Amino acid sequence: MSHKRVAILISGGGSNMVALLDSMRGDHPARPCLVMSNDASAGGLAKAAERGVATAVVDHRPFGGDRAAFEAELIKPLIAAQTDIVCLAGFMRVLTAGFVGQWTGRMLNIHPSLLPKYRGLHTHARALEAGEREHGCTVHEVTPELDEGPILGQARVPVRADDTPERLAARVLVQEHALYPAVLRRFAGGMREPLLMP
């Protein structure tokens, strides 16, 4: 069995990255080939190295505002690792259409809301302010439009009367750690139908 090669992009501690790495074992149709960050101090790099996964850092800061130049460097380790699928896991840089276009149909992201609701930041606070009764997370294909790509999976959590953004975020994160690996397994095996978790 030839496994799909998965690269994961992070900016921080990478709890979703760890969930993905730890899932790619046994009969899983994919294997991790690289964990890369734009921040050399990202805690997730050490966690990846502990698991024997290659790591790389491409710091965005030396490029100033030149996103195309940053992305030209970012893509080199991905190509060198013979990446088939790119997973964004807390990668806090907006990628240009030029970069995303090179990975059309091969790049995934997880977002902490039930898309199409609450694209962008501060999703938990916004859901509470709107009086939502349920909230959750979405795995989607990455397209040039922010948080707009085809939905590959969603998991829902009830909103409780005493919720704060932090409490709600913690419960959603538990679902993220289940949803993202489940969707990646299906995606790597060629399945694009959305996975809806209760």
The pairing of beta strand 30-37 with beta strand 55-57: parallel
Three-class SS state of 5: strand
Which strand ranges, in their side-by-side order, compose the sheet holding 107-111?
55-57, 30-37, 4-10, 85-88, 107-111, 134-141, 151-158, 195-197
Q: Read off the tokens for 149.
A: 């790509």
- Catalytic residue of the set 3, 60, 111, 135: 111
C-alpha to C-alpha distance for 91 and 22, rounded to whole angstroms: 19
- Cis status, amide bond into 29, omega within 30 of 0: no
C-alpha to C-alpha distance for 54 and 165, rounded to whole angstroms: 35
Burial pattern 39-67, b for ≥16 Cβ within 10 A else e, equals beebebbebbeeeebebbebebeebeeeb
60 is known as an active-site residue: no
Residue found under tokens 């964004």: 88
Q: Element (H or E) spanning 153, and its range?
A: strand 151-158
Which of the residues are catalytic? 111
